[in-house]
C-alpha cells in the first residue's frame, strides 16, 4: 500500500518538476548572468603538485610581453590576463606565505593596491612555490606552508585586497616570468609590455618604507614616461621549484638519523622544567602516554613543530606519564616516531605528584600541553587535543619569535 501511494505521488509530481526545470531553463537563457564578465569559478579545483623538469630560469626582460596564465585564485575563481584587460597598468607580484621577507612586504602590497586602484592600476599576486620543494625547516617564520589551502587562510587572515593565485602544481606561469625570489614585482604598461622588474623598495623591515621603487615605476608608466631604474635587485626567499626535491629527502634523512633517548624525571625536575630558567627558549611541553589514544595520534605533529621552529629560540619537550616498568614500550614508540627531542618518563609511581608539579590548572586528564616562556610564564595551555594551526600561530606571533628577521 505504501509503495503504491509513493508511486502515485511521484507520478503526480513529475509534470510539476518538469515544468519547474523548463521555466528555470527559459529564465537562464533569457537573463544574462551577473557573473558573465567575472573570472570563472574553481569549485572543482584540487591542488596536485607535480615534479617539474629541471631547467634554466630567466627573469622576463624589460620590454617583453606579459605571458598569459590561467591560474586558480584563493577566492574560488580562475584568472588570466584577460581579467585585467582594462587596467592602465598591471602589477604582478610573486610572493608566498612562508617567507619572512614576503610577509614583511604584505602590508605594503595591500596599501599600494588601495592607493592605486582609483588610478586604474590592478594588482595580482602569484605564489610560485611548489609545495613539494618546501621543507619543514623553512617554515620557521610562519604558521602556514605554501599549499593552496594555506594560501586561502593567509589571504583571509590578512584581508588581501588583490587576487592571490596558486601556481604550485606545474609552475608554468612562474617559469615564464622567472621570479628570482619572493617577493619579486613586475610592472606592465597598458599594452602589457614589461616596464619594471625587481623590489618594492630597499628596506625590508616593516614600517621603514612604503614601496617607493614600485610606486615610482608605476607613476612613470601611468604618465607614459620611461622608468628611471627599470631593473632593481630583489631580496628574499628563493623560489621553490618543483625539481628541488633532493633537499627534502636529505632533511628527512637528517631528522631520522637523530638519536632518540629517554630519561627519567621526578616531580622536582618537572617543576624546574616549568620554570624554564636555563634554556633561553620558548618551551613547549607535552604530557602524554602510550595508552592515551589522542596522545599517540597527535604526537607526530609536535615533532613537525620542532622541525619548523627548532632552529630558532624554541624547543619541544615530551613527558610520558607511563609507568616506569613501561620504559621499553615508551622508548619503542618514540623511536617509531623519530622523536629526536628531549624525552622524559615520569619516574615516580605516584602520578598525583606529576599533577601537583604541573599545577592546579591541569585537571589531570591526558594529553596536556603548555607553552612556557623563559622565567616560567605559561603563555598558552591546552587540555586535550591540540589545534595545531592555532598553536603555530601562537608560537610564531610570540615576542620571542616573530614573522620577520
Residue 29, pLDDT above cutoff 60? no
**What whole-number distance in Å separates Cα of residue 196 and Cα of residue 215?**
11
Answer yes or no: is 344 within a domain. Answer: yes
What predicted TM-score, i.e. pTM, was given to this entire model? 0.86
Number of helices followed by number of strands (H, E) in the chain: 11, 15
Please, are residues 263 and 207 in contact by the beta-carbon 8 Å criterion? Answer: no
175: CB partners within 8 A, 6+ apart: 52, 55, 57
Q: Are 233 and 105 part of one and the same domain? A: yes
- Residues 52-72 have a mean pLDDT of 97
- The DSSP call for residue 136 is G
**What whole-number distance in Å separates Cα of residue 211 and Cα of residue 203?**
9
- Please give the span between the terminal C-alpha atoms of the chain, in angstroms, as a whole number: 76
Q: Are 284 and 191 part of one and the same domain? A: no
In angstroms, what CA-CA distances link 57 with 54, 131, 359? 9, 18, 57
- Residues 17-38 have a mean pLDDT of 36
What confidence tens digit (pLDDT) does each residue in 322-381 have?
999 999 999 999 999 999 999 999 999 999 999 999 999 999 999 999 999 999 999 999
Q: What is the CATH number of the domain that holds 297?
A: 3.40.30.10
Answer yes or no: is 29 within a domain. Answer: no
Q: Domain ends where: 238, 269, 304? A: 238
Q: Are 234 and 262 part of one and the same domain? A: no
- The DSSP call for residue 73 is B
Residue with cell 633532493: 246
Question: By CB neighbour count within 10 A (0-12 exposed, 13-18 middle, 19+ buried), where does 184 fall?
Answer: buried
Query: How many other C-beta atoms can be found within 10 angstroms of the C-beta atom of residue 372?
Result: 22
Q: Domain ends where: 205, 238, 271? A: 238
Residue with cell 604582478: 92
What's the structural domain count of the chain? 2
- Residues 35-53 have a mean pLDDT of 72
Q: Are 290 and 374 part of one and the same domain? A: yes
Answer yes or no: is 17 within a domain. Answer: no
Q: Are 273 and 231 part of one and the same domain? A: no
Q: Are 79 and 209 part of one and the same domain? A: yes
Residue-level pLDDT at 25: 36
Answer yes or no: is 307 within a domain. Answer: yes
**What whole-number distance in Å separates Cα of residue 18 and Cα of residue 60?**
56
What confidence tens digit (pLDDT) does each residue in 256-300 have?
999 999 999 999 999 999 999 999 999 999 999 999 999 999 999
Q: Are 327 and 208 part of one and the same domain? A: no
C-alpha cell at 391: 598553536
Q: Are 77 and 197 part of one and the same domain? A: yes
Please, are residues 288 and 299 in contact by the beta-carbon 8 Å criterion? Answer: yes
C-alpha cell at 293: 589514544
72: CB partners within 8 A, 6+ apart: 42, 45, 78, 79, 148, 165, 166
Answer yes or no: is 314 within a domain. Answer: yes
Q: Domain ends where: 210, 238, 266? A: 238
Answer yes or no: is 131 within a domain. Answer: yes
Residue-level pLDDT at 405: 83
What confidence tens digit (pLDDT) does each residue in 288-300 have?
999 999 999 999 9
Answer yes or no: is 105 within a domain. Answer: yes
Answer yes or no: is 329 within a domain. Answer: yes
Q: Are 164 and 128 part of one and the same domain? A: yes
Please, are residues 66 and 194 in contact by the beta-carbon 8 Å criterion? Answer: yes
Domain that holds residue 355: 258-396
Q: Are 274 and 370 part of one and the same domain? A: yes
Q: Are 221 and 281 part of one and the same domain? A: no
- The DSSP call for residue 194 is E
Q: Are 335 and 274 part of one and the same domain? A: yes
Amino acid at each position: 500500500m505504501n509503495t503504491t501511494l509513493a508511486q502515485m505521488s511521484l507520478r503526480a509530481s513529475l509534470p510539476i518538476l518538469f515544468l519547474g526545470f523548463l521555466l528555470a531553463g527559459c529564465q537562464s537563457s533569457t537573463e544574462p548572468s551577473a557573473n558573465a564578465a567575472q573570472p570563472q569559478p574553481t569549485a572543482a579545483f584540487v591542488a596536485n603538485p607535480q615534479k617539474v623538469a629541471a631547467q634554466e630560469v630567466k627573469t622576463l626582460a624589460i620590454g617583453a610581453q606579459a605571458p598569459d596564465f590561467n591560474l586558480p585564485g584563493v577566492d574560488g575563481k580562475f584568472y588570466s590576463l584577460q581579467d585585467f584587460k582594462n587596467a592602465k597598468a598591471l602589477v604582478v607580484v610573486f610572493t608566498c606565505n612562508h617567507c619572512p621577507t614576503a610577509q614583511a612586504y604584505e602590508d605594503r602590497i595591500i596599501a599600494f593596491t588601495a592607493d592605486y586602484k582609483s588610478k586604474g592600476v590592478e594588482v595580482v599576486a602569484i605564489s610560485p612555490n611548489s609545495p613539494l620543494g618546501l621543507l619543514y625547516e623553512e617554515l620557521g617564520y610562519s604558521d602556514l606552508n605554501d599549499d593552496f589551502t594555506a594560501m586561502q587562510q593567509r589571504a583571509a587572515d590578512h584581508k588581501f585586497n588583490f587576487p592571490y593565485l596558486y601556481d604550485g602544481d606545474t609552475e608554468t606561469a612562474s617559469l615564464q616570468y622567472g621570479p628570482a625570489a619572493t617577493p619579486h614585482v613586475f610592472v606592465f604598461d597598458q599594452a602589457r609590455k614589461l616596464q619594471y622588474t625587481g623590489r618594492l623598495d630597499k628596506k625590508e623591515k616593516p614600517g621603514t618604507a612604503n614601496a617607493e621603487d614600485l610606486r615610482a615605476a608605476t607613476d612613470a608608466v601611468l604618465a607614459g614616461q620611461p622608468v628611471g631604474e627599470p631593473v632593481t635587485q630583489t631580496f628574499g626567499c628563493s623560489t621553490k621549484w618543483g625539481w628541488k626535491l633532493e633537499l627534502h629527502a636529505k632533511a628527512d634523512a637528517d631528522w631520522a638519523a637523530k638519536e632518540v633517548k629517554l630519561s627519567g624525571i621526578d616531580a622536582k625536575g618537572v617543576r624546574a622544567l616549568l620554570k624554564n630558567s636555563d634554556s633561553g627558549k620558548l618551551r613547549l611541553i607535552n604530557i602524554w602516554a602510550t595508552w592515551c589514544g589522542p596522545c599517540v595520534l597527535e604526537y607526530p605533529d609536535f615533532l613537525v613543530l620542532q622541525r619548523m621552529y627548532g632552529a630558532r629560540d624554541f624547543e619541544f619537550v615530551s613527558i610520558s606519564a607511563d609507568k616506569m616498568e613501561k620504559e621499553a614500550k615508551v622508548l619503542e614508540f618514540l623511536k617509531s616516531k623519530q622523536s629526536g627531542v628531549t624525552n622524559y618518563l615520569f619516574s615516580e609511581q605516584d602520578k598525583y605528584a606529576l599533577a601537583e608539579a604541573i599545577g592546579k590548572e591541569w585537571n589531570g586528564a591526558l594529553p596536556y600541553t603548555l607553552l612556557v616562556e623563559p622565567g616560567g610564564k605559561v603563555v598558552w595551555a591546552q587540555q586535550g587535543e591540540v589545534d595545531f594551526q592555532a598553536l603555530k600561530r601562537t608560537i610564531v606571533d610570540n615576542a620571542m619569535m616573530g614573522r620577520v628577521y
